[in-house]
Amino acid sequence: MDLGEAHWLETQSGGLFEQSFDLEDWELQPEQTQQASIIPTPTESLNTPKRRRPRTILKHTATTQPRKRSKTNESLVPGTGTGFNTDSSNNNSGLLSISTLASSSGPVGSAPDVSPKNIVAASPIGASAAISPTVTYNYVSNELVQSKTRVWTLVHDPATKRLLTRVPDSTLAEIQNIVKISQKAHESWRDVLFSKRRAVMLRLLESLRSNFNAIATSISIESGKILTDASSEVIRSLDMIEAACSIPGGTIGTHLVNEATRTHTTYEPLGVCMIVTPFNFPILIALWSIPFAIITGNTVVWKPSERCPSSAMLLAKCFYQADFPPGVFNVIHGGPTAVEKLLSQPEIKAVSFVGSDDAAERVHDHAVATRKRVQADCGSKNHGVIMEDATKDQTLYAIAGSAFGAAGQRCMALSVAVFVGSTVSWIPDLVKISSSLKVGCGLTPGVDLGPLITSASKERVEAIIQGAIEEGATLLLDGRGVTVPEFPRGNFVGPTILTNVQPYMRCYQEEIFGPVLCCMQVTTLAEAIEIVNENKYGNGCTIFTQNPVTAEKFQRKINVGQIGVNVPVLASPGQIPRTGNKESSLGQRNLPGQTGWEFFCMTKTITTLWRDAQ
């Protein structure tokens, strides 16, 4: 198969298919090149003569049906024949692809109009024909490059367990190559005028808008979150790019005149920046940092989560469509070993990481030891304090939405509810609201929470629930064993509520990252503040009250970086930095925000003295 004819969404964005496969069934023909230059350079146009592109052949030892060639895929125009194709005309399997789901007739930014009938068609469980499984490529210098690794991660739809794609654990040689390419690109990109870099970034904004629905659907399919949550993530991602475009032109420094001497400061890019992001917000978290790094003159090597690679490749498509020079933005795939290999590269000057406690600590320590600038966001245990004067119904619905939305797989979820005084009597009503939430596939209309990302995540969450019971907690609402008839193999855990939780229990000590709410009871606000302050995490917390004096006291006394007042999920806009503290954050500066760009710059101070020759 000529990679120039490949359907982008079938090769890069988790195209849906019926047939599972074993890695042993596939082999790369040794006589063919591994690198496929399937994407034209930004200088090419419609008038550029067509080139014969290198061919990479994947031979399947099992029986497969040949794909019909589509003449529309011969063009070099981005999005039609470059490997970034979103046209599903040559998908003869009868499946409804991601691109089909994304082609809603609504305005840009709206969620696709997905009917229950189409959900069955889109899901592998309802498919009657098989198409070839997908392979995720690295994105290097505006080209899709297939890895030579022998280690692959299989990505499954969390609702159906069907295979979506396989992700390479890129080799050391590939990582060294991508870093060198990025370093070479930095030498010229840093000298591009700020206004021109911003102009390219604005084109990225438009490209992301034009691919809005495809990206949102891809996120929903691979991560399991409901489509409205996935669409919200893309909207917030747009805000991050807009925030990056609004930073001061040329990153203005200071200027001081002192008699004969003049002193001024300048900001200059660091070089190659390494970005590592998790699965739960595969686009948004990446865009906390990538636009700020690039617009200030740096180049980026991004290692997205190996669990959600498709949205990363769709973002790469947006960068390509925006005409970024080769090497400015690159995507390398892999797991923890890929992160370690990247950290070992001396050309990497800055590291932005979001992930688990253990991984963040290892990344931080490695970066510090090798004199790299580093920022790492870790785990969280966010508390919601419910005062007696809070509006009952609004508060309970807010807590349920925050705790169980996205199946609890977000770092700003309220995972602990602290009921003050008589509000403990509200818990039965909270159980009633929570039990009414619908569990199912993220693409199904009316669903409130989807599946957990993997079977291992489901097993861990269920083990923590059982452990809490054994430690003495009371299980008021049990989400284990929840069934979704249309998706019997899904990684589903329903809303779960534990009461009589004590600080020494594992369910309180650890970030569960699942739809589990721990409930605690205190008598006064002072006791609630003490509980929050003694927790090791400091990512966020919220107080529910109608008394501004109480809210003001809470703000002053609490030792947590991000505080909400009647706000269940803290989602700051791009102009405001994330200010988690304690063991929720490691490193030197918070991202994003109007000052977050300084993380990616070095400050130089220049003092001059000019004397009259006379």
Print the SS3 string covering 163-212. EEEEEECCCHHHHHHHHHHHHHHHHHHCCCCHHHHHHHHHHHHHHHHHCH
Rounded to the nearest angstrom, the gap between the alpha carbon of residue 197 and the centroid of all alpha carbons in its chain is 24
Burial class (CB in 10 A: 0-12, 13-18, 19+), 300: buried
C-alpha 598/C-alpha 589 separation (Å) is 8
Compute how many other C-beta atoms are within 10 angstroms of the C-beta atom of residue 155.
Answer: 24
The DSSP output letter for 19 is: -
Question: DSSP for 597-613?
Answer: GGGGEEEEEEEEE----
Give bridge partners of residue 292 from the DSSP assignment: none
Q: Is 214 within 8 Å of 111 (Cβ atoms)?
A: no
Give the amino acid at 456.
A
C-alpha 273/C-alpha 271 separation (Å) is 6
Q: How many CA atoms lie within 13 A of 169 on its CB side?
A: 12
C-alpha 382/C-alpha 100 separation (Å) is 38
The verdict on whether 411 is a catalytic residue reads: yes
The alpha carbon torsion through 192, 198, 204, 208 (nearest 10 deg) reads 160
C-alpha 518/C-alpha 534 separation (Å) is 16
Structure tokens at 364: 């931080």
In degrees and rounded to multiples of 5, residue 154 shows phi and psi of: -90, 130
C-alpha 246/C-alpha 594 separation (Å) is 8
Which residue do the tokens 């809070």 mark?
390
Residues 6+ apart with CB under 8 A from 208: 215, 234, 237, 238, 241, 315, 318
**Residue environment code for 462-484, b if the CB has 16+ CB neighbours within 10 A, otherwise e:** bebbeebeebebebbbbbeebeb
Number of H helices and E strands in the chain, helices first, is: 17, 26
Q: Is 220 within 8 Å of 443 (Cβ atoms)?
A: yes
Q: 273, 411, 507, 518: which one is catalytic? A: 411
The DSSP output letter for 452 is: -
Which residue do the tokens 């992301």 mark?
208
**Residue environment code for 5-41, b if the CB has 16+ CB neighbours within 10 A, otherwise e:** bbbbbbbbbbbbbbbebeeeebeeeeeeeebbbbbbe
Give the amino acid at 26.
W
SS3 content of the chain, % helix, strand, coil (to 5): 35, 20, 45
Q: Is 444 within 8 Å of 510 (Cβ atoms)?
A: no
Q: Is 484 within 8 Å of 224 (Cβ atoms)?
A: no
Pairing label, strands 152-156, 163-168: antiparallel
Q: Is 23 within 8 Å of 153 (Cβ atoms)?
A: no
Residues annotated as catalytic (active site), given as ranges:
411
